[in-house]
Structure 1
Amino acid sequence: MKPPTDTFPTIASILAPEALVKKVLPCFGIGVVKDCQFYSGGFNHTYRILSSKGITYYLRAYRSKWRTLADIRYELDVLNHLKRKGYPAIQPIPDKDGHYFYAVPAPEGTRYLALFTEAPGGEISYDNEPAEKAQRYGRAVAHMHNALDDFSSPHLRFHLDLDHFIDQPIRNIQPFLVNRPDDWSYLLHFSGLLRQRILAMPADLLEQGTCHGDLQGYHANLTPDGTLTFYDFDCGGYGFRAYDLAVFLWCCRLEDAVAARWQPYLKSYQETRHLHEWDEEAIPLFVCARYLWHMGVHTQNSPDWGIDFLNDGYFNAHLNDLRQAENDYLA
């Protein structure tokens, strides 16, 4: 049997750095590129660029089935809005025609690219003075929310709502639990209880606005003068501000750092920006939502990432996290 002569279908390609240097980066006017390396995978593909002037940039190649062009343009609008506000976040760089995204024909379909400045400093660490770092982070998040209060974009993007946190994850997880009926029943119980508790707040009283979506306590570089510059707004959108705060608590739980970080973070946020008592009460509920969302994005992206890690050990651990969160916050 002869091999096929046409291009074989692909799910997600890795764009060649050499081709990016030759065909894409000259369009951005950053001068001679000294080095371009594939930096990281994950939700999207990131390349680290070094110019002959010694300036570092990061090029993101969005995965074709992960974000729509409208999603991407919304994210770029957020960053340009923060730039106008003078808020420290990475900045998208326009090409020579003034466009902030660039399309390339990849084997799996059109891939959209965006070039960003580098956040100065090194990634924030809590190894030393965790309470002070958490305070600084909480204050910066409050200022971010203040800066985004008047943000708007003509581009449609997904909302951080109950469909995003509950319904979509459940649909994505279900095929992986067909042989674990008791766990599937528990997942339905957990998601139903969570939905009921959020709606009973009531949900329509909770503050909503543009959110970063992944403020774990990281995704920010810290300079010696104490400035935090934020990046990676890929999971953001319009939604519950309590969720944006809950992601920090969720990560504290993962790192056994609730006692050291959570109250300093929350207090500094409240000292900088008013937080309604019902929004504070909703934070634990959105910690539960984050656990569910996290499983959902793993299963959702399994066609690109593979299924090997989605084994019994994975589901045992993550379902145990759900049960612990229910015991702590939903009981």
Structure 2
Amino acid sequence: MTVFPTQYSLLSAKALQEHFSKQYSFAITNCKLITHNVSDTYLVETIAEQYIFKIYRDKHRSHDEIMGEMQLLEYLHKNKASVSYPIKDASGNYLQEFNAAEGIRYGALFTYAKGENIYLMNDKQLKLVGKEMAKLHQLSSKVELDYTRKKYTIASTLQEPLKVIKPVFKELKPEYDYLVEIAELAVQELSKFDLSSFSYGYCHYDFLPKNFHFQGENQLTFFDFDFAGQGYLINDIMTFQVHFFLDVYYGKLTRNEADRCFSVFLEAYRKTKPVTDDEIKSIKYFGLGFWLFYFGFHQENFDDWSNSFFTPNFIKSRIPLIKNWMEY
């Protein structure tokens, strides 16, 4: 009997535990699914340690793209950046290959980022994020990977997503017209900067607190570099400011306190790596690209991921949020 065509399978945690016991040079005591999301994430445990195993979707990441993530993280780890990094199996391979129902899927084992997410950070923690992000950027601006990763350009963030999302705005023409108008404005405003002077390298592109853990106030680990790609490094500072913007938007922080927190972070960043005033001024426009890029990603991954929330109500609710961002 042939296997019916499948597009997003879920691999058995029990079977994976048996597989890991053969592939890795340490005894696995437990494996359980944490999230079935953009990719599948499992918690893997030994008697003494915890790890994260991630299985990618072929539609989302090709073999070479995943290897680019492995190479970037290996480089960052070897150069003392505070990141969760991949672990090779007993044969020296980063990737595990699974013959799933939809075809070959790849997975990788990562060190566990000890600690917890903290969303309301104190000044010491804000300074630590600034220092560690700057250190990471010093490294990611110097490396050239052997594998191709996505490039975050004006076209890929401000122009191409508008084509992708146009069908879902069929009944929301005024809202779509607004997005087109402000995207054109952002492109015009960015053209006024000397972008060749902006720091460039591999961005994380999702530097929100959900993607790093604090262990106390002195230890920080960044993780989930799934969206890492080449672009202006101000994009990462921008995504961190998005966190404060959202706290203001949803009433968790006052604007004054959010601005103060961002300033504490930025001052600490600048002690390790310079950021120009023009780069800071560009955040509004690169931030619009962030919102549009993920709008497009929601649409492109509707079948496998976003169908539970990417509804007309969600789409309509994003427009006033984006308007607030442009006025922030």
Establish whether TM, by shorter chain, passes 0.5: yes
The equivalent residue for 1:178 is: 170
1:254 & 1:279 partners in 2: Cα distance? 21
The equivalent residue for 1:28 is: 24
Find 1:120's aligned residue among 97, 109, 114.
114
After superposition, where does 1:101-250 map in structure 2 within 5 Å? 101-126=95-120, 130-224=122-216, 226-250=218-242
The equivalent residue for 2:9 is: 13
Amino acid at match of 2:277: E
After superposition, where does 1:15-94 map in structure 2 within 5 Å? 15-31=11-27, 33-51=28-46, 53-94=47-88
Amino acid at match of 2:2: D
2:181 & 2:99 partners in 1: Cα distance? 44
Evaluate the alpha carbon distance shift between residue 237 and residue 13 of structure 1 in structure 2; reply closer, same or farther with a 3 A threshold.
same
2:292 & 2:306 partners in 1: Cα distance? 19
SS at match of 2:230: strand
Report how far residue 260 of structure 1 moved.
4.7
Name which of structure 1's ranges 290-299 and 86-95 shifts more when overlaid on structure 2. Answer: 290-299
Report how far residue 24 of structure 1 moved.
4.2
SS at match of 1:122: coil
Amino acid at match of 2:31: C
Report how far residue 149 of structure 1 moved.
2.8
Contact 2:43–2:51 (CA under 8 A) maintained in structure 1: yes
Contact 1:28–1:93 (CA under 8 A) maintained in structure 2: no
2:247 & 2:51 partners in 1: Cα distance? 30
Deviation readout 1:281-327 (Å, 9 max, x if unpaired):
21222122222222222222111125352223212210112222233
The unaligned stretches of length 5 or more in structure 2 are: none
After superposition, where does 1:268-279 map in structure 2 within 5 Å? 268-279=268-279
* Number of equivalenced pairs: 320
2:153 & 2:26 partners in 1: Cα distance? 39
Evaluate the alpha carbon distance shift between residue 87 and residue 308 of structure 1 in structure 2; reply closer, same or farther with a 3 A threshold.
closer
Identity %: 23
Amino acid at match of 2:232: F
1:199 & 1:28 partners in 2: Cα distance? 50
The unaligned stretches of length 5 or more in structure 1 are: none
Contact 1:138–1:269 (CA under 8 A) maintained in structure 2: yes
Amino acid at match of 2:15: A
2:218 & 2:319 partners in 1: Cα distance? 38
1:308 & 1:122 partners in 2: Cα distance? 27
Contact 1:103–1:110 (CA under 8 A) maintained in structure 2: yes
Report how far residue 171 of structure 1 moved.
2.5
- Normalised by the length of structure 1, the TM-score is 0.91
SS at match of 1:123: coil
Report how far residue 151 of structure 1 moved.
1.6
Evaluate the alpha carbon distance shift between residue 141 and residue 218 of structure 1 in structure 2; reply closer, same or farther with a 3 A threshold.
farther
- CA RMSD across the alignment: 1.8
Report how far residue 204 of structure 1 moved.
3.0
- Normalised by the length of structure 2, the TM-score is 0.92
Amino acid at match of 1:39: I
Deviation readout 1:231-275 (Å, 9 max, x if unpaired):
111111111111111001112111224235211111111122111
Name which of structure 1's ranges 158-167 and 78-87 shifts more when overlaid on structure 2. Answer: 158-167
